[in-house]
Structure 1
Amino acid sequence: MKEITATMAGTVLNVMVTAGDSVAEGQEVLMLESMKMEIPVESQAAGTVAEVKVNIGDFVNEGDVLLVME
């Protein structure tokens, strides 16, 4: 299992994947908003989304787990 974590604190603006989705390395999986900027979160490796840990509108801190990949 691989975890995708937040690179900075912000609000979850959009979640582009759901559990069971296959993703490629470098694919945008989530969008954060911080200080009025949109920050894309990309998958660091190819795999399958096992679990989405956040919802749109959630506030996350740097290092929080956003997704779990298989």
Structure 2
Amino acid sequence: VRAGTPLVVLEAMKMEIRLVAPFAGRVKRVTCAPGDVVERGRVLVELEASA
């Protein structure tokens, strides 16, 4: 993915919050699924930096 690519959309109190890739790289792991309720501080996506 490129830096700035949307990775996850969170919904809270009828608002959508887009989480974007902070750097270019490869998605290593996704730890959530659509509809999951997630707690603050939970890792949702693991990225591996491009070489």
2:35 pairs with 1:46 = no
TM-score normalised to structure 2 length? 0.86
Report runs of 4+ in structure 1 exceeding 3 Å deviation.
none
Unaligned runs of 5+ in 1: 1-22
The structure where strand makes up a greater share of residues is 1
Unaligned runs of 5+ in 2: none
Identity of aligned residues (%): 42
Alignment RMSD: 0.7
User: Taking CA–CA contacts closer than 8 Å with sequence separation of 6 or more, which of the two structures ends up with the larger relative contact order?
Assistant: 1
